[in-house]
Amino acid sequence: MDVTYQHSSMKQDRRKAIRNIVAGITVPMLGNFDARAVPPLNNRDQERGSFSVDGTSVRFHHPAMRSPQSFLMLADTHLFRDDARGIPFREYSGRMAKAYNKTKHFQSNTDTDPEQCFTASLSRITEKKQTLLALVGDILSFPSEAAVEWVMQRIEGTGLPCVYTAGNHDWHYEGMEGRAEDLRRLWSAQRLKPLYQGNHPLCHCQPMGDADLLVIDNSTYEILPEQLAFFRERERHGRPMILLLHIPLFVPGRSLGFGCGHPKWNAANDRSWQLERRQPWRSEGHTQTTLDFHRAVFQSPHVIGILAGHIHSPSVDVVNGIPQIVSEANARGGFLDVELLPMA
């Protein structure tokens, strides 16, 4: 997939381009978008920078960036390793323990599996001189102690800092009673804690040069008031921000998988709650806080991009000049090499 696009829209051509993208291109598997057709930048455009996507390579250029930065982003590995400590939980882990045992690599279509894909992805770090590993949810298929230990050994082997946010499966034992928010808090503390490496499990800011990565847990599909407050507080710093979210934000025309802020996200439209043996989504739909977060992100002059997982299929959408890029599942070998670069 290839797309290059310059932010903002003072010129009519670009307004039209953005309308087209929001309405329909939303660049699924990304046809070519020719940046040479875009008129020259003016000063206001320069403040917003640009982005490009070439297959698994994502580049953000921004005038505030003085030195290049790069990191590896992985989502949806769905590790399922387990041992005797998991036996008492088998009634809750059985289905997901089998869900991704064997996968097909997204590029070669050859047989592979999540552990092989995760290990192969980490080998990119040296080659690409990346300085951070970002794990953006569903790294596990259920909160297995053996899987957490396995992944922690690999993370430590990189010698790099790692940021992590949970996905909806990392903390979910199917059939276990309780509200999603409570179960997330329980298993984040009891099983996932090493993965956070001391960072706050709900929201964390990771500086990368002159930009900030905001890691926000929306794995219940909802945003909590303290997470919205965190976003607004970070916004006041005025630094370029990239959001790392497991569940992508709603974009017009997209499925309920883009479920954070989706107007049709509610109990009546929840098709998976019986299969996943969890409480249905909220009957009234999203909380006002989640809707306010969605609006605040896409209205922010400081958000230069959103990186997400959950869908297991790569895509790019642009809303108000802000790109949201979804990664292929790492269970099938997917990854994103992300670079933050000066304009020139």
Give the footprint of Fe ion on this chain (CB under 5 A). Answer: 76, 138
Q: Considering the complex, what minimum distance in angstroms separates the CB of residue 86 from Fe ion?
A: 19
**294, 288 contact by CB (below 8 A):** no
- Measured from the CB atom, the residue of 76 and 270 that comes closer to Fe ion is 76
- Measured from the CB atom, the residue of 135 and 303 that comes closer to Fe ion is 135
Q: Considering the complex, what minimum distance in angstroms separates the CB of residue 88 from Fe ion?
A: 25
**144, 195 contact by CB (below 8 A):** no
Q: Considering the complex, what minimum distance in angstroms separates the CB of residue 78 from Fe ion?
A: 6
- Measured from the CB atom, the residue of 45 and 270 that comes closer to Fe ion is 270
Q: Considering the complex, what minimum distance in angstroms separates the CB of residue 5 from Fe ion?
A: 27
Strands 162-165 and 133-136: parallel
Helix (H) or strand (E) holding 99: helix 90-99
Whole-number Å distance between alpha carbons of 13 and 198: 47
Q: Considering the complex, what minimum distance in angstroms separates the CB of residue 102 from Fe ion?
A: 16
Q: Considering the complex, what minimum distance in angstroms separates the CB of residue 137 from Fe ion?
A: 7
Q: Considering the complex, what minimum distance in angstroms separates the CB of residue 166 from Fe ion?
A: 11
- Measured from the CB atom, the residue of 8 and 315 that comes closer to Fe ion is 315
**Cα 156 to Cα 26, 148, 162, distances in angstroms:** 37, 12, 9
- Measured from the CB atom, the residue of 48 and 78 that comes closer to Fe ion is 78
Whole-number Å distance between alpha carbons of 64 and 333: 33
Among residues 116, 110, 43, which one has the least CA distance to residue 79?
Answer: 116
Whole-number Å distance between alpha carbons of 294 and 250: 8
- Measured from the CB atom, the residue of 18 and 134 that comes closer to Fe ion is 134
The residue number whose beta carbon is nearest to Fe ion equals 138
- Measured from the CB atom, the residue of 215 and 340 that comes closer to Fe ion is 215
**219, 310 contact by CB (below 8 A):** no
**Hey, is 3 helix, strand or coil?**
strand
The helix, strand and coil proportions of the chain, stated in percent and rounded to the nearest 5, come to: 35, 20, 45
**74, 135 contact by CB (below 8 A):** yes
- Measured from the CB atom, the residue of 76 and 235 that comes closer to Fe ion is 76
Q: Considering the complex, what minimum distance in angstroms separates the CB of residue 248 from Fe ion?
A: 12
| Long-range contacts formed by 291-298: CB under 8 A, 24+ apart | 291/261, 292/228, 293/223, 293/227, 293/228, 293/231, 293/260, 293/261, 294/249, 294/250, 294/260, 294/261, 296/228, 296/231, 296/232, 296/235, 297/231, 297/243, 297/249, 297/322, 298/249, 298/322
